[in-house]
Each structure stands twice: as C-alpha cells, then as structure tokens.
C-alpha cells in the first residue's frame, strides 16, 4: 500500500474539501490567504509531493517550462536562468533546462524532447551554430503545435514569437562614444561570438558610431575559439595602433585585459577596455573592468512572465501580433576606461 500523501489527507486534517486544497496549492484567487497558508503549512509538514503526471492528464497542463540555453558558463546566461527560476517558483512552475552548447544538433535534440508534451511552453536563446547556419526549421513547429515560445537575447526574424532583447546596437554606440570622449581614436571591436545576432548588432553600432565621429580606423577582431585568443590578439596589437577595445562579452574582455597587460601595455593609459555583462569578476580585475550591463534579471523575469501570459491565454489560436521587448543596457564605467 502506498504511503504517499494525497489531497484528501490534507483536506481531512483541515476539514475542507479536496477542491479547496487543490485550489489553494495552485494559488487560486478564489481561496483566502489564511486558507492558502494553512494548506501550505500542512502540505509541507506531511512532505506532500504533487502528482504532476495525474494533474497534467486532467488539465492538459504540466506546470513546467522548458528553457533552452547556449551555455550556463557565462555570467549572462547564469543570471538569466536564475531570474527565470525565481520568477517561475513564485507562480508554481517548474523549469526544465536543456543546454545546446552552441550546437545546432544539440539544440534540435533539446527542443524535440521538450516538444513531446513535457512542458507548457519554451524559452530559448539560439545557439551560435543555429545562427551561423541560419537553420530554423526545427523551430517552425512552435506555431503548428500551438506551443507558446519566447526567444531572448539571441533571436531571429524568421520565427514569429515574443522576443526579449537589450538594445545591442545602441549599447556599443554608447561605449564607443564614451571611449572617444576619453581621447581614444583607434578603437577596435573584438568578438568571440561573431556568428550571433547580438554580436552583429554590437558590431554595427560600433561601425555606425565611428562613422558619425569621422574615425576612419575601424578594426574588427574575430576570434573563433579561446585556444587562439592570445595569439590572434597579440598579432593585432603588434600590427595595429589600438588605444581601446570593445569586446562582445565578459570573458573576452577579461582575457583581453590579461593579454594587453602581459604584453607591456598599460590599461587604461595605453589601451582602454569595455566588455559586456556585469558580475563579481569585472569588479575585481586589475584594473576593474568597465562593462555594459545587459539587465539580465529583468530579461529573465520578462521572458518568464511573457510566456506564462501566453500559456494562460490558451492555445486555441495563434496570436495575431507578438511583442518584442527591448530593454535598456547601461554602461558601468570603471578603471579600465577612465
């Protein structure tokens, strides 16, 4: 005989109906806060575990959300997923994470698994390889299967869905103008994620601002992997006059800081550096690193809330219009560009 605690057990203790217990556990507005708190207290004391399978069969809802990420090593994606998980917990949703490791094949595999009825909706940031090959056929089933999806950060125009990004273009415009105001005239743009939509927008913002400032010496440094990072950057430092570098992400900014100083240059006296994504490490590098904050927590919250709104609207018909929320990025000025 099973010892698993049921809704009936909780209802019997509190002398209420099983329907009341179920609604309280699902945070229904029909139930008072007093009753909700009592139900939650008893459920916790009895180690009650919801039967998600039975609940999903009955309501055709799993209360689970799939999140497909390129990686979780970077501060950016780590912060976004933390915000998504915290916001989901408030709304009694569970998160299933699938990592593509910037591989199209792994992204297809992850999306396929999530498609098979295990989640109510998907939040996704595209892999580098997906964007590089512009292969989106595996994502076109979203609307056909009436499964809500929200894209964030790395998005594409080919798939119609809700999207959350920062203003990547304007972010590098701001960074370039800041460096120019400090006397920099030979500003380079360095990217290790140059296949992605975000890097392309950041590069375009950089190039447009150079043109506006009438600076002719633009230099794009594209590094395919970190094994080649030092050698490629050193070669550019030897062959070009560079007095500032804007990098497309946090790790490449930290690596650039190291390579520049190891090769006899002073930061920021000789070369200033600005990267993307704030965190603990940029504050404690020597010198501290100027960073474009990507509003990661807000991006995660908005992605989750937008998806839940779509789920609650129901899947009876495809929305006629989708939203594209563009969050403001902020330049945090520290010693590396002062």
| Amino acid 94: pLDDT | 93
| Amino acid 60: pLDDT | 57
- 32-69 per-position pLDDT tens digit: 999 999 988 888 888 777 665 445 444 457 789 999 99
- Report the relative pairing of strands 290-293 and 330-332 from DSSP bridges: antiparallel
C-alpha 251: how far from chain center: 16
For 168-294+332-337, CATH number? 3.40.50.2300
Q: How far apart are CA 151 and CA 125, in angstroms?
A: 6
pTM of this structure:
0.80
Taking phi over 0 as left and psi of -120 to 50 as alpha, with beta for the rest, 31 belongs to beta
Architecture of domain 7-50: Orthogonal Bundle (1.10)
Give the closest residue to 178 by CA, choosing from 261, 290, 254, 280. Answer: 290
CB distance 118 to 66 below 8 Å: yes
CB distance 267 to 296 below 8 Å: no
| Amino acid 58: pLDDT | 47
- 179-188 per-position pLDDT tens digit: 999 999 999 9
For 59-165+296-327, CATH number out of 3.40.50.2300, 3.40.710.10, 3.40.640.10, 3.40.50.2000 equals 3.40.50.2300
pLDDT in tens, the chain (338 residues): 345 778 888 888 899 998 898 888 877 888 899 999 998 888 888 877 766 544 544 445 778 999 999 998 889 999 999 999 999 999 999 999 999 999 999 999 999 888 776 899 999 999 999 999 999 988 887 766 678 999 999 999 999 999 999 999 999 999 999 999 999 999 999 999 999 999 999 999 999 999 999 998 899 999 999 999 999 999 999 999 999 999 999 999 999 999 999 999 999 999 999 999 998 999 999 999 999 999 999 999 999 999 999 998 875 455 668 999 999 999 999 999 98
Residue carrying the six token digits 């207290």: 41
| Amino acid 52: pLDDT | 53
Contact partners, residue 204, CB within 8 Å, separation at least 6: 169
Other beta carbons within 10 angstroms of residue 157's beta carbon come to 9
CB distance 193 to 125 below 8 Å: no
Residue carrying the six token digits 């506006």: 212
Q: Where along the chain do the CATH 1.10.260.40 domains lie?
A: 7-50
Q: How far apart are the first and last CA of the chain?
A: 70
Q: How far apart are CA 295 and CA 79, in angstroms?
A: 9
Other beta carbons within 10 angstroms of residue 141's beta carbon come to 14
3-class SS letters over the chain: CCCCCCHHHHHHHHCCCHHHHHHHHCCCCCCCHHHHHHHHHHHHHCCCCCCHHHHHHHHCCCCEEEEEECCCCCHHHHHHHHHHHHHHHHCCCEEEEEECCCCHHHHHHHHHHHHCCCCCEEEECCCHHHHHHCCCHHHCHHHHCCCCEEEECCCCCCCCCEEEEECHHHHHHHHHHHHHHCCCCCEEEEECCCCCHHHHHHHHHHHHHHHHCCCCCCEEEECCCCCCHHHHHHHHHHHCCCCEEEECCHHHHHHHHHHHHHCCCCCCCCCEEEEECCCHHHHHCCCCCEEEECCHHHHHHHHHHHHHHHHHHCCCCCCCCCCEEEECCEEECCHHHC
CA angle 197, 200, 204 (to 5 degrees): 140
CA angle 167, 292, 257 (to 5 degrees): 140
| Amino acid 261: pLDDT | 97
CA distances from 215 to 13, 174, 266, 273 (A): 75, 15, 23, 18
Token output for 309: 């709104």
| Amino acid 1: pLDDT | 36
Q: Where along the chain do the CATH 3.40.50.2300 domains lie?
A: 59-165+296-327, 168-294+332-337
């Amino acid at each position: 005989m099973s010892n698993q605690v049921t809704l009936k057990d909780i209802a019997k203790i509190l002398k209420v109906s099983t329907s009341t217990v179920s609604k309280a556990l699902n945070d229904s507005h029909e139930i008072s806060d007093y009753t909700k708190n009592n139900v939650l207290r008893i459920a916790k004391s009895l180690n009650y575990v919801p039967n998600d399978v039975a609940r999903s069969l009955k309501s055709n809802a799993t209360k689970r959300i799939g999140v497909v990420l390129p990686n979780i090593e970077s501060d950016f994606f780590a912060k976004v997923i933390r915000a998504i998980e915290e916001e989901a917990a408030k709304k009694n949703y569970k998160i299933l994470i699938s990592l593509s490791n910037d591989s199209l094949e792994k992204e297809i595999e992850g999306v396929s698994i999530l498609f098979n009825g295990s989640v109510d909706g998907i939040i996704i940031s595209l892999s580098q390889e997906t964007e590089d090959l512009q292969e989106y056929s595996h994502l076109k089933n979203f609307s056909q299967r009436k499964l809500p999806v929200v894209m964030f950060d790395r998005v594409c125009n080919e798939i119609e869905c809700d999207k959350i990004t920062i203003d990547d273009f304007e972010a590098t415009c701001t960074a370039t103008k800041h460096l120019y105001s400090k006397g920099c005239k030979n500003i380079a743009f360095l990217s290790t994620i140059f296949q992605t939509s975000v890097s392309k927008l950041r590069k375009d913002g950089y190039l447009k601002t150079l043109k506006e400032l009438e600076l002719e010496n633009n230099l794009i440094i594209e590094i395919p992997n970190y094994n080649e990072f030092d050698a490629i950057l050193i070669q550019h430092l030897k062959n070009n006059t560079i007095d500032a570098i804007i990098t497309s992400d946090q790790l490449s900014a930290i690596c650039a800081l190291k390579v520049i100083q190891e090769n006899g240059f002073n930061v920021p006296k000789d070369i200033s550096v600005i990267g993307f994504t704030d965190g603990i490490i940029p504050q404690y590098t020597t010198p501290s690193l100027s960073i474009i904050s990507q509003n990661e927590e807000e991006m995660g919250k908005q992605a989750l809330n937008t998806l839940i709104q779509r789920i609650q609207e129901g899947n009876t018909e495809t929305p006629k219009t989708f939203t594209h929320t563009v969050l403001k990025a902020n330049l945090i000025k520290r010693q590396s560009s002062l």
